[in-house]
Amino acid sequence: MGYVAARGGVEAIEHARHLVRYFRLRGGSAPVGVRQIQDQFRLAVDKVMGEGSLYSPFHAALALKQTEGDGAEAALMLRAFASTCPRTAVSYVADPGEMYVLRRISAAFQEVPGGQLLGPSRDYTQRLFDFTLAEERDAEVHAFLAEYAPAVLPDAGRALPRFPKVLDVLRAEGLLAPPPPRPEDGDAPFDVTRRALVFPARSPRPR
Most confident of 1-10, 86-95, 189-198: 86-95
- Helix ranges (H only) for the chain are 9-25, 34-40, 42-52, 57-66, 71-82, 138-152, 166-172
pLDDT at 69: 94
Under DSSP, the state recorded for 107 is: S
For 145-165, write each residue's pLDDT tens digit: 888 888 777 665 666 677 888
Cα 105 to its chain centre, rounded Å, is 19
Count of Cβ atoms closer than 10 Å to residue 47 Cβ: 17
* Residue-averaged pLDDT of the chain: 82
The residues, any chain, with a CB within 8 Å of residue 115's CB and separated by 6 or more, are 104, 163
The residues, any chain, with a CB within 8 Å of residue 202's CB and separated by 6 or more, are none
For the chain, report the end-to-end CA distance as a whole number of angstroms: 50
Residue 207 pLDDT exceeds 50: no
Residue 44: which pLDDT band, with cuts at 50, 70 and 90?
Answer: very high
pLDDT at 120: 83
Q: Which amino acid is at 184?
A: E
Per-domain residue ranges of the chain: 10-82, 95-120+137-176
How big is the chain, counted in residues? 207
Query: What pTM was computed for the model?
Result: 0.68
Q: What is the C-alpha separation between 108 and 113, in angstroms, rounded?
A: 12
Residue 129 pLDDT exceeds 60: yes
pLDDT at 15: 87
